[in-house]
Structure 1
Amino acid sequence: MAFFGVRLTDDFAARFDAFASSKGGRSVLLRRLMAEAMTAGGLEPAPDGPGPARGQSDKLTLRLKADDRAALDSASGAAGMRRTEWALACLRGRLFRKPQFNAGQALALVEARQELARISTNLRELVRAVRDGDLAADAVSDELAKVEAFRREVRDQLDGVRAAIDGAGDYWEAA
Structure 2
Amino acid sequence: MEQKYIFSDNPVLGMAVDRIDDLTWRTVNLIRDIPYTAVRSIVRSGRAVAGRPVEETGIIYSTYRAYDVMTRNTASGLTSHDLRRYAGILSLHEPKASAVFDYWHVMLSLWKIDKRLALVCCNHQLIHERKGLFLPSKQRMRLFSQARSANDKDLFDYGCISLEPGGLTAKELDDAK
Same fold (TM over 0.5): no
Determine which structure has the larger helix proportion and give its number: 1
- Structure having the higher Rg: 1
